[in-house]
Amino acid sequence: MKENYFVPIRGTLICGILWLMSIVAFAQKSVSGKVSDPKGEAIPGASITLKGTTTGTISDADGNYKINVPNSGGVLVVSSIGYKNQEIAVGNQTTLNIILESDEETLDEVVVTGYGTQSKRDITGAVTTVNAKDLQSVPATTFAQQLQGRASGLSIVNDATPGGNATVRIRGFGTIGNNDPLFIIDGVPTENQGNLNPNDIETIQILKDASASSIYGSRAANGVVIITTRKGKIGPAKISFSAYYGTQKVSENVQSLNAKELGEYLYLADKYADKAPQHGQYTFGANGEVTIPAYVYPSAGKEGAANTNPALYSLTPSNIYPITKSADTYWWGEVTQTAPIQNYQLTASGGSENSRYALSVGYFSQDGVVKFIGYDRYTLRSNTEFSAINKKLRIGENFTVSFDNRKGGFGNNDEQNAVSGSYKHHPLLPIFDINGFFAGSRGANLGNNSNPYATLARQADNRRYRLRGFGNIYGEYDILPFLTFKTSLGIDITTENGKYIGRANPEYIEGSFVNSSESNTNYDYQWVWQNTLSFSKIFNTVHKIDAYIGTEAIKQFGEYFGATRQGYAFETLPIISYLDLGDPTKVGNYGRVGNDYSLWSQFGKFNYAYNDKYLFQAIIRNDASSRFLSASRNALFPAFSLGWRLSEEKFISTNLPFVSDLKLRFGWGKTGNQKIGNYNAFTTYRSDIWHAGYPIDGNQTTPTIGYDTQAFGNPDAKWEATTSTNFGIDASLFKGKLSFELDFWKRVTSDMLFTIPLTFTVGDAAAPAYNVGQMTNKGLDAGINYKSNINNFRYSISANLSTYRNNVDKLDESPNTRYLGYTSRVPAITVTQAGIPISSFYGYTVLGIFQSQSEADAWPKYESYNKPGKFKMADINGDGVIDPKDQGVIGNPHPDFVYGLSLNLGYKAFDLTIFANGTQGNDVFNYTRYFSDFNTFQGNRSKRALYDAWQPSNPSGTVPIMDANDQISSRPSSYFIEDGSYFRIKNVQLTYNLPSKITGKTALDNAQIYVQMQNLATFTKYTGLNPEIQTGADTTLGFDGGYMPVSRTFIVGVNFGF
Amino acid sequence: MKSNNIVKIFLATGLTVGFAIGCSDEFLTREPQAQYSPTALKTAKGVEGVLLGAYAMIDGTGLDGQDPWMNDIHNWVFGGVPSDDAYKGTDAGDQPEETFIERWDFQATNNHIKNKWRGLFKGVARTNDVINTLKDVKDITEARRAQILAEAKFLRGLFHFEAKKCGRIFLTLMMLLLI
């Protein structure tokens, strides 16, 4: 059918063109000239068009252009990115040199929103742009870390471990499930921000409210972060090289007791518990004098005694006798080090009239400030675009391959990690025993913590390799000047390979002689296919209409596979890295599916602008997800927004001439969320030894395996929808010197997908998500920016502030339903319940410490606990007795507000940048105090536990009296809640731009050299190592179970352009 | 030229509309991978497996997120420790909840007690699962059917007996119907 149409079309086309050409050829003249900037430098790639026609050209590398103009004259429209457009009438001249003014106003900037681009002037939603220069001034592993404090409405919590991802939250916590925003990189959506090279990024736009982000409806409920990577610009090839090298050191130190102080603490703990002070290692004098033994294994061993004879040393399965000398070890000092961080990047970019390209290669490496861990990343990126048929057809690709390697083992919030271990491991223990093997705590009363140095050293050979290919290939065709069709196929493929070596740890009191090796692999792929048809036309010069419709299909699938073996004869790397040489009768393996879902959507967007003054936008999107059954699979997400550019109105432009731009915005929209399990609708069973194995035949070694319910299904689940309303003001005053933006917003999440706690009588399996809850967030985002200069001195200040208030309106039909957060050794300390913010802290309220026995007796009875030196717990319900009913909400992990501050000063060739950020008003539950302040486990205590403890001689103590039998003081209470507010000077950088006098003599085009200090100072009252707590689950926020602190880093770097 | 434009517009919208209705329902249907569905178990072999799963609840392991000793049939936490048989030992901070059980101080927030109930009722639910699945199994001998039913009922009785030892139990309507 198509063939028949083409023949007559081609014919008329050719005739038409010839006819046009003939007319044009007879009545034209050629105009040429040079386009340059006020300094006289040529502007290549400037666009010169004849107004009202499609005749146009581009200036070449020297800024020269040549264009045909009718003899009767015409108007040339000259434009170039970064410069103000100019219109010049051509009279009789044939040579016309054009000087373009630099564009101070950033409002002509084009930003990516949705599946196309929009001029910043026309945006009616709440969108914040962060440009690459601001991002790159903070050296960081991931771009999310670089975003911290740069934009209002964003809350970023960093993971300080090398290669760790930052948690990004936009405008609070919208749901009880997953609150991650959607990341769109060059148009390809992904939920995984890992291992993308931040140096490849050109700009980032953050879509904060539904009227902007609902075009991505299906996964946009938590906001959208749009990342655009560097493409080439028209002009000769530019090669640039940048590198930096720095050293990192921990900025905070653990305050733990030394060996003698711990002895004093233990003496007092026994004395106040009315026990005769006695310890397996220390010898106590009559007045509390502490004597440290020569050996800790055998317990309290003496030098020269028969049982400490080195010939008796043995560490074999049949005879464990690891003689160990005593020591006075400061564990934090032993596990931390000064570590390097470095980055090298080489970029080549350029373009011509019909093509542009950008190629970059990068290497990043960061060693951990905790020993034996590190991270490396290699990336390659290629972005190209080609155009043909008079630029009507454009084909391009953006692709990056990155390979990263996470070395060693460290998990935040792990009871046995290096940070927790430094609080807990006994100071009497050395790192090595008398024969140079790692020393453990097998002696009496030394605790059951593992040697943190040994744990790190044994895991030093663990590796997690990850290879990720990400990008898209697209084709665009201008069917008509105002109608464009675009198709784009994006992929995101990750494969990971992990190697985990479990070395024998017989010195550890809960260890063994068994060694093991685990090798696992997983892969995950996502493909995205988008098609859009867009329309853009201006009618009668005042009516501007932009619209597009499109479709998107997404599929994601991933699989895991792993195997382990035990019983290696040797633990050397060539042997234990691979499974073959392990004992084939001690094998474990597993294989399962990870991601498995698909999405299918149709969407449309309509923009109308009247004379740049009245703006209107409407979006509608229909999504279907495989996570819901067909009856509830589809959902419709509409949105609209309005804008009014007050600065174009006469009454503003005449009365307030200093206002360059003033715009009011209002937006309303719905976005969706479907982050639940892939098989939520199905009831399923599993079959494995642990859940369903039983030796029904009496077998002594192998059970028979049955079936067990794995998950209950909810076939009626449907999309969760967030409705958001936003009112905003953008203003730019004094020709762009001062600009500010202010947004008031509210987000209500309804039909919130929530895995409700099941009643035990239905049995036990993973509960499905039901649409039962509702959550409201409201807040305010503000940003202000001022820049100016006085002769050669230039300065600019910008600040942003965001606040949000979160409230769980309801979880399900009952107002008393509670969802408890993470529980470890203590009962859950966070609770999510109707009427309070998500993940509020829960426990007893401590009012003070009893000073005397009479005070303790007068207080409501709390079992047999009340005594001088113990906590005075509040009787919340006033029933005269302290019991579990007196637990209540004791803290709020959400900040009152977060802010960022940036100061740039420049004088001639020097630039100084200072960037600081902070949060105010958030609480943190310092779980490390459970071990360090109370007599819970045998191990070390904090300095606070000895010196700040209440004693009759120290009545102003804030820590309860030491008591060997006390199990109640350590219950979750407001004692653990600390103020996590902090102000951190995150970055100070001094840059020197080499003058052109020097660079002119070399091959360099420009060069910069800089020094930088990161995390220079943190001002906080928090006593833990790092007030910035990131957790995996949003129902357990602000829980510090042992997090790596931030490092103070000193960096030197260079940037060269050729 | 005008017909040109119209034809082009037609093509463009036609292609887009084609894409819009092109994708079928099959693209959006998923079957759980690496897991069994309930229908797979309605066979002779399947119901034997479900019965084994019910037996597996006796030893206390098999419940995600809780320690096996909170629920195992040896009852060292609920029997041995509160009586004179065993002393909890170790440090004050190691499993403090067991010290409270030892002193007969039963708190509403004690996880051991909550998890004991959870494990026992999971056992009951699994035996009910056997009894319900057995109704839909066709290819099984009458003798084996009676045997499986008897074993399931015995196990259910055992779990309820354990629960009764701990306190009041909650008789569900379904259980009443099945008796």
pLDDT digits (tens, 9 = 90+) for A684-718: 998 888 888 898 888 888 889 889 888 888 888 88
Question: What CATH architecture does domain A2-103 belong to?
Answer: Sandwich (2.60)
Q: Decide if B59 contacts A694 (C-beta within 8 A).
A: yes
**What is the spatial distance between Cα A482 and Cα A994, in angstroms, rounded to a whole number?**
46
> What was the pLDDT predicted at A529?
93
Q: What is the CATH number of the domain that holds B121?
A: 1.25.40.390
The confidence band for A675, taking pLDDT boundaries of 50, 70 and 90, is: confident
When computed from its CA atoms, the radius of gyration of chain A, rounded to whole angstroms, is 33
Does A418 or A743 have the greater pLDDT score? A743
Q: Give B170's contacts in chain A (Cβ within 8 Å).
A: 761
Q: Which two tokens stand for residue A441?
A: 């705590």
Domain that holds residue B100: 36-178
Interface of B with A in 130-169 (CB under 8 A): none
| B31 lies in some domain | no
Residue appearing with tokens 């000063």? A905
**What is the spatial distance between Cα A438 and Cα A435, in angstroms, rounded to a whole number?**
9
> What was the pLDDT predicted at A1005?
77
**Residue B179 pLDDT greater than 90, yes or no:** no
Q: Which of B5, B9, B99 sits opposite A967 (nearest CB)?
A: B99
The confidence band for A92, taking pLDDT boundaries of 50, 70 and 90, is: confident
Global pTM value:
0.82
**CB–CB contact A691 B92 (8 Å):** no
**Residue B2 pLDDT greater than 60, yes or no:** no
**What is the spatial distance between Cα A905 and Cα A231, in angstroms, rounded to a whole number?**
29
**Residue B34 pLDDT greater than 80, yes or no:** yes
State which of A155-159, B11-15, B82-86, B129-133 shows the largest mean pLDDT: B129-133
**CB–CB contact A692 B56 (8 Å):** yes
The confidence band for A6, taking pLDDT boundaries of 50, 70 and 90, is: very low
Q: Decide if A254 contacts A1050 (C-beta within 8 A).
A: no
What is the edge-to-edge ordering of all strands in the sheet holding A923-926? A977-979, A923-926, A1039-1040
**CB–CB contact A9 B7 (8 Å):** yes
Q: Which of A627, A696, A937 sits opposite B55 (nearest CB)?
A: A696
Q: Give B27's contacts in chain A (Cβ within 8 Å).
A: 553, 555, 598, 600, 626
**CB–CB contact A763 B129 (8 Å):** yes
pLDDT digits 0-9 by tens, A360-395: 999 999 998 889 999 999 999 999 999 888 878 999
Query: In this complex, is the C-beta atom of B6 within 8 Å of any C-beta atom belonging to chain A?
Result: no
Exposure string over A616-631, b if 16+ CB within 10 A, otherwise e: ebbbbbbbbbbbbbee
The confidence band for B6, taking pLDDT boundaries of 50, 70 and 90, is: low
The confidence band for A25, taking pLDDT boundaries of 50, 70 and 90, is: very low
Query: In this complex, is the C-beta atom of B11 within 8 Å of any C-beta atom belonging to chain A?
Result: yes
> What was the pLDDT predicted at B167?
67
**Residue A410 pLDDT greater than 90, yes or no:** no
Comparing A91-95, A400-404, A465-469, A589-593, which segment has the lowest mean pLDDT? A91-95
> What was the pLDDT predicted at A793?
86
**CB–CB contact A679 B35 (8 Å):** yes
| B21 lies in some domain | no
**CB–CB contact A761 B172 (8 Å):** yes
**Which of B3, B10, B48, B91 has the most A C-beta neighbours within 10 Å, making it the best mutation to test the interface with A?**
B91
> What was the pLDDT predicted at A243?
92
**Residue A14 pLDDT greater than 60, yes or no:** no
> What was the pLDDT predicted at B4?
59
> What was the pLDDT predicted at B158?
92
Q: Give A966's contacts in chain B (Cβ within 8 Å).
A: 92
> What was the pLDDT predicted at A105?
45
Q: Decide if A1004 contacts A1056 (C-beta within 8 A).
A: yes
Helix (H) or strand (E) holding A87: strand A86-90
**Residue A69 pLDDT greater than 60, yes or no:** yes
The confidence band for A864, taking pLDDT boundaries of 50, 70 and 90, is: confident
> What was the pLDDT predicted at A1?
40
The confidence band for A514, taking pLDDT boundaries of 50, 70 and 90, is: very high
Average pLDDT over residues A989-1009: 81
**Residue A794 pLDDT greater than 50, yes or no:** yes
> What was the pLDDT predicted at A5?
44
**CB–CB contact B107 A884 (8 Å):** yes
| B1 lies in some domain | no
Comparing A467-476, A492-501, A963-972, B13-22, which segment has the lowest mean pLDDT? B13-22
Average pLDDT over residues B58-63: 82
pLDDT digits 0-9 by tens, A619-632: 999 988 898 887 88
Average pLDDT over residues A404-421: 76
> What was the pLDDT predicted at A211?
80
**Residue A22 pLDDT greater than 60, yes or no:** no
Q: Decide if A228 contacts A688 (C-beta within 8 A).
A: no
**Residue A468 pLDDT greater than 80, yes or no:** yes
DSSP string, A654-704: HH-TTEEEEEEEEEEEEEEE--S-TTTT--EEE--HHHHEE-TT--SS--E
**Residue B106 pLDDT greater than 50, yes or no:** yes
Q: Where along chain A do its domains lie? A: 2-103
Does B118 or A813 have the greater pLDDT score? B118
Average pLDDT over residues A103-121: 66
Burial of A276 (0-12, 13-18, 19+ CB in 10 A): exposed
> What was the pLDDT predicted at A3?
44
- A201 to chain B, minimum CA–CA distance in Å? 32
> What was the pLDDT predicted at A313?
92
Task: Determine the distance from the C-alpha atom of residue A13 to the mean position of all C-alpha atoms in its chain, rounded to a whole number.
Answer: 54
pLDDT digits 0-9 by tens, A179-189: 888 898 888 88
| Kind of pairing between the strands at A224-229 and A182-185 | parallel
Does B34 or A85 have the greater pLDDT score? B34
Beta pairing partners, A535: A483, A547
Does A108 or A862 have the greater pLDDT score? A862
Query: In this complex, is the C-beta atom of B126 within 8 Å of any C-beta atom belonging to chain A?
Result: yes
| B158 lies in some domain | yes
**Residue A849 pLDDT greater than 70, yes or no:** yes
| B86 lies in some domain | yes
> What was the pLDDT predicted at A15?
44
**Residue A273 pLDDT greater than 90, yes or no:** no
Q: Which two tokens stand for residue A900?
A: 């960022």
Comparing A32-46, A394-408, A524-538, which segment has the lowest mean pLDDT? A32-46
Q: Give B89's contacts in chain A (Cβ within 8 Å).
A: none
Q: Decide if A63 contacts A78 (C-beta within 8 A).
A: no
| B44 lies in some domain | yes
Mean pLDDT of chain A: 85
Residue appearing with tokens 């003939």? A22
**Residue A787 pLDDT greater than 50, yes or no:** yes
The confidence band for A1044, taking pLDDT boundaries of 50, 70 and 90, is: confident
